[in-house]
Amino acid sequence: MAFTTPAMRHRLGETTRRDGWWINPAAMALTFLVFVVYAAWAAIQSKYYTYGPPGAEHYTYISPFYSPPFQEYFPKVAAFKFFPAFWVVWLPIAFRLTCYYGRKAYYRSIMLSPSACSVGKGAGRGYNGESALPWILNNLHRYFLYLIVVLVIFHWFHFFQAFNFDGRFGMGVGSLVIAADTILLSLYVASCHSVRHLIGGSVDCFSCARAGEARLKAWEGVSWLNQYHNLFFWASLITVGFADLYIRLCAMSIWTDVRFF
Amino acid sequence: MSNKMHLKVFRGDNSGGELRDYQVEVDEGMVVLDVVHRLQATQAPDLSCRWNCKAGKCGSCSAEVNGKPRLMCMMRMDLFKPDEIITIQPLQAFPIVRDLVTDVSWNFEVNKKIPPFKPKPKNPDGTWRMMQYEVDRVQEFRKCLECYLCQNVCHVLRNHGKHDVFFGPRFMVRLAGLEMHPLDDADRVKLMREAAGIGYCNITKCCTEVCPEDIRITDNAIIPLKERVADRYYDPLAMLFRAIRGKNR
């Protein structure tokens, strides 16, 4: 039964809302724009992405855009020498693009589909949402999740490395910046809707499922974290960019890393 | 203590209409529905509006107040500034019968398409048994009033008129309540993907924002159902795992 709704006659942006409904999508669009421009520039640079204390044999900080450093692990593979960040950043981009919260953010702010609730779209019946290409590919989110868990493990390796100043335990502002990035990225991944489903959301009867009690507890924990998934999305996006910027400024000697001990 | 407030109320039907201006006396403690009733009683006896319980439980008085889908009986007038103009319109995702009344009968037809609860076989001791924590999970979905505010704000229905291919958030909630029930034995995953059109939802969460019962429609109903559809149709590893275990579900 198809019928024409009153709202189908509304033009793009037409609404009787009197609040600042446009502020939220505009702020999200601006944040995305700043991040994408900066991340693209930082990824193409291919230098100034590590920093260590003067005279140290090995770096202490590495930009999250370049972690894991494939060019370091596989020096004989020529491909990794070109745009080394490329081999890393595609994964978080794919994970965030297919993320259930990320989808809301860019559907609203970039694609204006819809920009805000009960605001006109000026669109007709030509809409397929995620039932057809390309957006049906968002169903692959769980595969990017499996891969990003590996990336998070590398982030934790570089977290510990950020407290290793040429073989001695230490801490600088950069250590805290990398710690914030690692912890927030881990929380963002742990609070993912697909994690919630895989860990217990797919179970209907916990009392009859194998390891049901453990899965219930895990599901409850992830469900609690999941309430803050949007917060972790933005916080981890900002800290990953800031970590790269901080390390880049230190590496370029524009900023001096402050050592606490 | 009372003051006059400026109302703009939709007057018309599905072929068209206008926002008509009224000045209505408002007393302390009134809600929007009270003001609409006073308008009916004093100035516009032919104004149509639907209401029943006036307690936020029947879901009849759904409308758009200043562009936001709300239950008129639960919206206090002291939320507005004394000089604020208040716009009251009918739901925008359904045909308008007259003034503030819309024809929501499409929802009743959709509801009939959902296979009802089908209990599992009884336990050997002749009982069905489920734990409180399993009941708690689906209890959230039982709070639904069927006010259809979520259906109204869903852009798939509202702006694109996809009523013939998409059930809308209200019925995703009903599907979730049945699918996640620990004693239910029916399989609705194919229905969710095909007739219910869950793929049309792009999870922009307007349904959750307007729910008067604070049901986390997107996070707790739609996304878990999308994940179940992904298990069945979009995850080759899960398909392989099922094939090895020899299970259909």
Report pLDDT for B105: 96
Report pLDDT for B249: 46
Give the whole-angstrom CA distance, residue B161 versus residue B164.
8
Contact B162 A127 (CB under 8 A): yes
Q: Is residue A175, in this structure, part of any structural domain at all?
A: yes
Q: Three-state SS across chain B? A: CEEEEEEEEEEEECCEEEEEEEEEEEECCCEHHHHHHHHHHHCCCCCCCCCCCCCCCCCCCEEEECCEEEEHHHCEHHHCCCCCEEEEECCCCCCEEECCEECCHHHHHHHHCCCCCCECCCCCCCCCCCCHHHHHHHHHHHCCCCCCHHHHHCHHHHCCCCCCCCCCHHHHHHHHHHHCCCCECCCCHHHHHCCCCHHHCCCCCHHHHHCCCCCCHHHHHHHHHHHHHHHHHHCHHHHHHHHHHCCCC
For the stretch B16-33, what's the b/e string if a residue is b when 16 or more beta carbons lie within 10 angstroms of its beta carbon? ebeeeebebebeeebbbb
Give the whole-angstrom CA distance, residue A229 versus residue B4.
45
- Residue B117: exposed, middle, or buried by beta-carbon count in 10 A (0-12, 13-18, 19+)? exposed
Report pLDDT for A75: 83
- Residues 6 or more apart whose Cβ sits within 8 Å of residue A221: none
H-helix or E-strand spanning residue A111: none
Contact B106 A1 (CB under 8 A): yes
Q: How far is CA B186 from CA A210, A227, B115, in A?
A: 21, 29, 8
Q: What is the pTM of this model?
A: 0.94
- Residues 6 or more apart whose Cβ sits within 8 Å of residue A44: A83, A85
Q: Which residues lie across from B85 on neighbouring strands?
A: B6
Q: How many CB pairs under 8 A join A and B?
A: 167
Q: What are phi and psi of A236, to 5 degrees?
A: -70, -30
Q: Is residue A6, in this structure, part of any structural domain at all?
A: no
Per-residue pLDDT of chain B (249 residues; tens, 9 = 90+): 578 999 999 999 988 899 999 999 999 999 999 999 999 999 999 999 999 999 999 999 999 999 999 999 999 999 999 999 999 999 999 999 999 999 999 999 999 999 999 999 999 999 999 999 999 999 999 999 999 999 999 999 999 999 999 999 999 999 999 999 999 999 999 999 999 999 999 999 999 999 999 999 999 999 999 999 999 999 888 888 888 887 544
Query: Is there a contact between B90 and A6 (Cβ–Cβ < 8 Å)?
Result: yes
Chain B nearest-CA distance from A89, in A, is 24
**Which residue is closest to B177 within chain A, CA to CA?**
A204
Q: What are phi and psi of A161, to 5 degrees?
A: -65, -30
Give the whole-angstrom CA distance, residue B22 versus residue A48.
66
Q: Show residues of chain A in contact with B202, CB under 8 Å.
A: 103-104, 107, 113, 129-130, 135
Report pLDDT for B247: 54
Q: What are phi and psi of B76, to 5 degrees?
A: -75, 145
Domain count, chain A: 1
Q: Does A226 contact chain B (CB < 8 Å)?
A: yes
Q: Which residue has the tokens 């179970």?
A: A203
Q: Which residue has the tokens 């939220």?
A: A24
- Local structure of A235: helix, strand or coil: helix
Those residues of chain A that have pLDDT short of 70 are 1
Chain B nearest-CA distance from A179, in A, is 29
Q: Show residues of chain A in contact with B95, CB under 8 Å.
A: 3-5
Q: Is residue A77, in this structure, part of any structural domain at all?
A: yes
Q: Is residue A74, in this structure, part of any structural domain at all?
A: yes
This complex has an ipTM of 0.93
Q: Does B96 contact chain A (CB < 8 Å)?
A: yes
Which DSSP category does A259 fall into?
A: B
Give the whole-angstrom CA distance, residue A206 versus residue B180.
11
Closest CA to A231 of A101, A143, A121: A101
Q: Is residue A218, in this structure, part of any structural domain at all?
A: no
Closest CA to B62 of B209, B201, B216, B211: B211
Q: How far is CA A193 from CA A118, A198, A231, B13, in A?
A: 26, 9, 14, 42
Contact B182 A120 (CB under 8 A): no
Q: Does A204 contact chain B (CB < 8 Å)?
A: yes
Report pLDDT for A225: 97
Q: Which CATH number fits domain B3-100: 3.10.20.30, 1.10.260.40, 1.20.120.450, 3.30.465.10?
A: 3.10.20.30
Query: Is there a contact between B75 and B81 (Cβ–Cβ < 8 Å)?
Result: no
Closest CA to B164 of A3, A8, A10, A135: A3
Closest CA to A224 of B122, B216, B93, B156: B216
Say how many CA atoms lie within 13 Å of A196 toward its Cβ: 25
- Residue A91: exposed, middle, or buried by beta-carbon count in 10 A (0-12, 13-18, 19+)? middle
Structure tokens at B16: 């068209």
Q: Show residues of chain B in contact with A120, CB under 8 Å.
A: 159
Contact B229 A139 (CB under 8 A): yes
CATH 1.10.1060.10 fits B105-245, yes or no: yes
Give the whole-angstrom CA distance, residue B108 versus residue B104.
8
Report pLDDT for B243: 86
Domain that residue A82 falls in = 45-121+132-191+228-251
